[in-house]
Structures are given as C-alpha cells and as structure tokens.
C-alpha cells in the first residue's frame, strides 16, 4: 500500500521594504504619546515665557453697573491665569454700596490687582480713594490727584445732607475704620487716609508718593508693568510675585449692554429719560391712538427709573416732576385759563432742582442748562397744545343743531308764516321769525335762526348772508376736490369734468 506524503504550504518571506512599512505605526504611536505627555510642560513653558496682563477701565461714577464690570474683569483674569489685572481709573466717586462690592471683589481676587490713576488729569476721588487703597499695587500717572473721601450721608428722602450729629459721626467713623483697615492691610499711610475721610484732603501724585499713599508713579502703562515686575504682594491665600515685564496686554472693555447701562447712570441722562418719557405718556393720554409717543414714553420712563435707582435721588423731586405732567393733562379738560399749566411748570422746575441733592458727590449734578432747556420745551409744547384746543373750541360747529344755525336755504313754497324750505339738501318745515315780514314768496332766500325739534325758525337772507354762504360753498367744493379717493385706479370725476 502506497503512502501519500502530507501536503504542506510554504509562506514566502517578507521583503525588507514590507517589514519597514509594517513597523512604521509603532514609532508613530510612541511619538504621539510622547508629545501628549510633554504638552502641559510646553504650554507651561510658553506661559512662563510670555505672561499676560488684563487691563480694564474704571472711568466714570461708581455704580452697580461698574461693579459688575470690575467683577467680570477679575473673573476673566483668573480664568485665563493672567499675571495681574490693571484698572486704569478716573472717577469722581459714587455709591458706597457699589464701592464696597468692588473692594470685596479685589480682596477676594486670586490674581494681583493694580489700580492705576491715569491718564494725566484723572482723579481718584471719594470712592476712588477706597478702591485705590484696596488694590495690591497703587500707582498714579503724573498730573493726577487723589483724595476727598468724606462720605455723603443720604437722608430718608434720598437727598444729600449732613443729618443729625450722632448719625453723621457714625457714618464718618465707619468710613474711617474701613479705609484705615485697608491701609494697614496694604502697608499704606493710615493717618492721611483718615484725613481724607474726615477733612476731605486732596493731594497730587508726587505728594501721594511722598506720603506713602501710593506705591509708585508711572507715566504710561508699559513703564508701570516694568516697574512693578518682581514685586511681592500679599494675596488672600499668601504672597505672590508679579511677573509683568514684557507681558502681553489684553484690554477688556465694557460690552454694549454695560456701556448702555452705565450711560443711563448719568444723572442728566436719567433726568432727560424721565422728563421726555412722561411727556410721551402725556401726549398719548391726551391724544389716544397715537401709539408711538406712548410706547416710547413708557420705555423711557422705565429706563429713567432704573437709572435713578442707581443714583442718590431725592424722590420728592421725582414726585414733583410727575405732578407737573398731571397738572398739564388736567389743564386740557379744566377751564383754568392756564393756571394749571403755570403750576405744572413751577412744579417741574422745583422737582428738577431737587432731583439730585446739592450735597451729592461730584459728578451727580443735573446740568442746569439742561433743566431750563427742557422747561422751555415743555412751555412751548403747552402753548402749542393750548392754542390748538382754543382753536378747536372757537371753530364753528359742523354737525348737529348748532351747525344749522346761520345756514342759508330757499323757500320752496310761500311762507305765510309757515311753509317748506330747502336747507342743505333737505326739505324742512319752517316758520318765519316773529317781528319780521309776515309772508315770503316761494324761491326767497332765508337764513336759519333756530332749530326747534323738526321745525326751523327762519328770516329773510341779507346780501351779507348770501355772500357768506357763497364763500362757504366754495370752500366746501375745494375741500371735496381735495378729498377725492381713487377707486379701482381711476379718480372720481367732478361735475362737468372728464376722467383721465
């Protein structure tokens, strides 16, 4: 029996190039893993080589809107691991509540905060002094000033006042304690800080540096960043060393909404919004159906009230302004011969002057020329509206019984003394007035003197009556021609005319 040899297969050996191709993925995978492992180190090295500084502006009064902007800038700096956040400041002061929130934001910040009073001519007044003292680094540009940190006590009405002696001392002592604590925290001049609160002292940049109110003077931002480099500051969690030399500067401005709301916080803008908003509502209520003044006025009043809510307002002034427009509206329906309008103007001017107290912080005044300009506009509008109402009342009636008196007609039949007359396209039963002729022939012109239910009292028409009636007829014809409305693309033809 023959045996069959077992079958077997042979695999040809791989070529050298095929082996190289098969081995390529292994080094590629190892290289990718190595790059992933080194990426944090490379990123850290890049950040170390190029630090970043966030720059924002505290420009204008200190309001809740400004506080939210400062908080957003600090949060952005923390999120992006910035070396520091610099606030270029120029402020006349503002609300103590907003100032306290800004100070709290600075004290809790995880990145160093630098307050730089700039540019030349800028100031850090009132609330600006407290914010400067709270900063980890305080700097000023040449030609700037700082001081006048005395608190303004706001009474129950919202008006700036000194209040009673005991309450004034409480407010002042509380403010002194706050700024002295900030001075001790940052190692600055606590004695001058107390004088700034109690005596409202003010110093220049050079004097502030000599008195240890600030840390340095810098003519511009690049110089400031170079000067504070390697400075050690005390943070809430410990010490930190600034690395700002050659740093990339990233500016963070207010967004559109923040800028708009900050603009509304201006007392003059708030005053204009409230005044013209009430005027729009007044026009809408006096002329229902106009719509646009009412919508615009309502929005303006709401925005004005929002703005006033961020300001030290005397609400008695707001009520006086509102009373003024109530008096304007009443004068349209009450025959006061202008007395209510005059009273409204007086109320409006008084409310305008009382709206922001005279003792309010600098920058919170309503511009006096604006007050008188708005008052003049209201006076002109009231005169125009009053003249329009007077013209409407003096205009002869065009409908009803009163409209028929003085109308010229024609006797269709002899009046003896009663008969039929043709007036305004209608036949009426008529009777001659006593004291006149006892009879009129048919076709005689007559004038209506009285309407008694469905009977007219008439008298013979004079030449003057006929002339007046002819002029009135001509005016009506002109008015009819002006009021022709095209129908189906063609105009209605006048009598005796032709269509084109």
Instruction: Give the confidence band of 291 by pLDDT, cuts at 50, 70, 90.
Output: confident
Among 28-37, 125-134, 208-217, name the one with the lowest average pLDDT: 28-37
Pick the residue with more confidence: 477 or 144?
144
Asked if the model's pLDDT at residue 14 lies above 70, the reply is no
If you ran DSSP here, which 8-state letter would residue 424 be given?
Answer: T
Rounded CA gap, 325 and 378, in Å? 10
| 111-142 pLDDT per residue, tens | 999 999 999 999 999 999 999 999 999 999 99
Per the prediction, the chain carries an average pLDDT of: 82
- From 40-44, 54-58, 282-286, 462-466, the region with the lowest mean pLDDT: 40-44
In sequence order, the β-bridge partners of residue 116 are 88, 139
pLDDT 10s digits, 138-187: 999 999 999 988 876 544 444 444 446 777 788 889 999 999 999 999 99
For residues 318 and 288, the model is more confident at 318
Question: What span, in angstroms and rounded, lies between the C-alpha atoms of 342 and 176?
Answer: 48
Where does the pLDDT of residue 476 fall: very low under 50, low under 70, confident under 90, or very high at 90 and above? low
Q: Is the pLDDT of residue 30 over 80?
A: no
DSSP code, position 235: E
Return the CATH number of the domain spanning residue range 47-255.
3.90.226.10
So what's the pLDDT on residue 312? 76
The answer to whether the Cα torsion of 162, 164, 166, 170 is positive or negative is negative
pLDDT at residue number 22? 55
Per-residue pLDDT at 61 exceeds 70: yes
d(CA 216, CA 117): 11
* Predicted pLDDT at 99: 93
Residue 42's pLDDT band (boundaries 50, 70, 90)? low
Residue where the block lists tokens 């220049």: 204
Give the pLDDT band of residue 237 (cuts 50, 70, 90).
Answer: confident
Which residues neighbour 88 within 8 Å (Cβ) at sequence distance 6 or greater? 55, 56, 57, 58, 59, 116, 118, 119, 221
Exposed/middle/buried for 422, CB within 10 Å: 0-12, 13-18, 19+? middle
Residue 362 host element (H or E) = none
Q: Which pair of structure tokens corresponds to residue 451?
A: 């309407």
Q: Is the pLDDT assigned to residue 385 strictly greater than 90? A: no
Please give the pLDDT value at position 110: 94
Q: Which pLDDT does position 1 carry in this prediction?
A: 43
What pLDDT, on a 0 to 100 scale, did the predictor assign at position 212?
95
Residue 470: band (very low, low, confident or very high) from pLDDT cuts 50, 70, 90: confident
Instruction: Please determine, for residue 59, whether its predicted confidence score (pLDDT) is greater than 90.
Output: yes
What is the DSSP code (8-state) at residue 439?
-
Task: Assign domain 401-478 to a CATH class.
Answer: mainly beta
Q: Taking residues 325-351, report their average pLDDT.
A: 86
| pLDDT number for residue 2 | 46
Report pLDDT for 155: 47
Looking at residue 86, its pLDDT comes to 97
Mean pLDDT for 307-324 is: 85
**Is the pLDDT confidence value at 40 over 80?**
no
Which DSSP string do the residues of 443-455 spell out, in sequence order?
A: T-EEEEEEEETTE
Q: How confident is the model at residue 320 (pLDDT cuts 50, 70, 90)?
A: very high
Q: Helix, strand, or coil here: 494?
A: coil
- Percent of the chain whose pLDDT exceeds 90: 40
Query: How does residue 401 score in pLDDT terms, banded at 50, 70 and 90?
Result: low
CB neighbourhood size of 129 (10 A): 27
| Cα 129 from Cα 135, distance rounded (Å) | 10
Beta carbons within 8 Å of 20's beta carbon, 6+ residues apart: none
Helix/strand number for the chain, H first, E second = 17, 18
Q: Are 240 and 51 in contact (CB under 8 A)?
A: no
pLDDT (mean) for 98-112 = 95
User: Mean pLDDT lowest for which of 16-30, 83-97, 110-124, 307-321?
Assistant: 16-30
pLDDT over 80 at 306, yes or no: yes
Name the residues annotated as catalytic.
126, 170
DSSP state of 313: B
Lowest mean pLDDT among 21-25, 360-364, 383-387: 21-25
Domain boundaries, the chain: 47-255, 266-394, 401-478
Res 19: pLDDT: 54
- pLDDT greater than 80 at residue 199: yes
Give the residue, 281 or 142, on which the prediction is more confident. Answer: 142
Q: Which of 49, 71, 80 is nearest to 250 (CA)?
A: 80
Q: Which pLDDT belongs to residue 181? A: 95
66: helix, coil or strand? helix
- Does the pLDDT value for residue 17 go beyond 90? no
Q: How far apart are CA 418 and CA 367, in angstroms?
A: 74
Mean pLDDT of 210-223: 95
For residues 88, 89, 95, 97, the Cα torsion angle rounded to the nearest 10 degrees is 40
Mean pLDDT within 230-240: 91
Strand runs (DSSP E) across 118-199, as ranges?
A: 123-125, 137-140, 145-147, 153-154, 160-161
Mean pLDDT for 466-490 is 59
**Model pLDDT, residue 398:** 55
pLDDT at 70: 96
Same fold for the domain at 47-255 and the one at 401-478? no
**What is the four-CA torsion angle of 69, 71, 72, 76, rounded to 10 degrees?**
140
């Amino acid at each position: 029996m023959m045996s069959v040899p077992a079958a077997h297969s042979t695999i040809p050996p791989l070529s050298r190039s095929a082996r190289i191709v098969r081995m390529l993925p292994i080094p590629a995978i190892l290289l990718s893993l190595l790059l992933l492992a080194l990426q944090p180190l490379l990123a850290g090295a890049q950040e170390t080589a190029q630090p970043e500084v966030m720059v924002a502006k505290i420009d204008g009064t200190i309001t809740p809107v400004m506080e939210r902007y400062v908080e957003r800038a600090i949060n952005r700096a923390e999120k992006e691991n910035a070396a520091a956040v610099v606030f270029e400041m120029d402020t006349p002061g503002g609300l103590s509540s907003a100032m306290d929130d800004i100070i709290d934001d600075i004290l809790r910040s995880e990145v160093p905060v630098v307050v730089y009073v700039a540019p030349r001519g800028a100031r850090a007044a009132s609330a600006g002094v407290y914010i400067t003292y709270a900063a980890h680094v305080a700097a000023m540009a040449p030609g700037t000033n700082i001081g006048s940190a005395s608190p303004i006590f706001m009474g129950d009405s919202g008006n700036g006042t000194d209040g009673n002696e005991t309450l004034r001392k409480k407010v002042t002592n509380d403010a002194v304690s706050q700024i002295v604590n900030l001075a001790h925290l940052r190692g600055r001049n606590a004695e001058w800080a107390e004088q700034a609160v109690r005596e409202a002292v003010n110093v220049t940049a050079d004097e502030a540096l000599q008195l240890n109110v600030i840390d340095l003077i810098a003519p511009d931002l690049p110089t400031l960043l170079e000067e504070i480099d390697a400075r050690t500051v005390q943070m809430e969690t410990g010490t930190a060393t600034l690395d700002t030399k050659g740093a990339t500067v990233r500016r963070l401005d207010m967004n559109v909404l923040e800028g708009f709301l900050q603009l509304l916080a201006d007392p003059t803008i708030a005053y204009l919004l409230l005044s013209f908003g009430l005027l729009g509502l007044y026009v809408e209520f006096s002329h229902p159906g106009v719509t646009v003044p009412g919508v615009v006025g309502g929005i303006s009043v709401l925005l004005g009230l929002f703005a006033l809510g961020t300001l030290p307002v005397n609400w008695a002034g707001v009520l006086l302004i509102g009373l003024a427009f109530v008096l304007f509206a009443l004068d349209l329906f009450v025959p006061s011969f202008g007395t209510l309008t005059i009273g409204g103007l007086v109320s409006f001017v008084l409310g305008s002057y009382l709206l922001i107290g005279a003792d309010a912080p600098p920058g919170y005044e309503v511009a006096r020329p604006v007050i008188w300009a708005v008052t003049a506009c209201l006076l002109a509008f009231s005169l125009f509206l009053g003249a329009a109402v007077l013209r409407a009342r003096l205009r002869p009636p065009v409908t009803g019984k009163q409209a028929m008196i003085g109308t010229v007609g024609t006797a269709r039949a002899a009046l003896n003394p009663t008969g039929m007359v043709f007036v305004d396209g209608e036949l009426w039963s008529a009777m001659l007035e006593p004291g006149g002729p006892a009879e009129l022939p048919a076709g005689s012109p007559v004038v209506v003197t009285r309407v008694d239910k469905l009977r007219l009292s008439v008298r013979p028409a004079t030449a003057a009556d006929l002339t007046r009636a002819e002029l009135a007829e001509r005016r009506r014809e002109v008015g009819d021609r002006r009021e022709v409305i095209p129908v189906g693309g063609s105009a209605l033809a006048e009598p005796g005319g032709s269509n084109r």
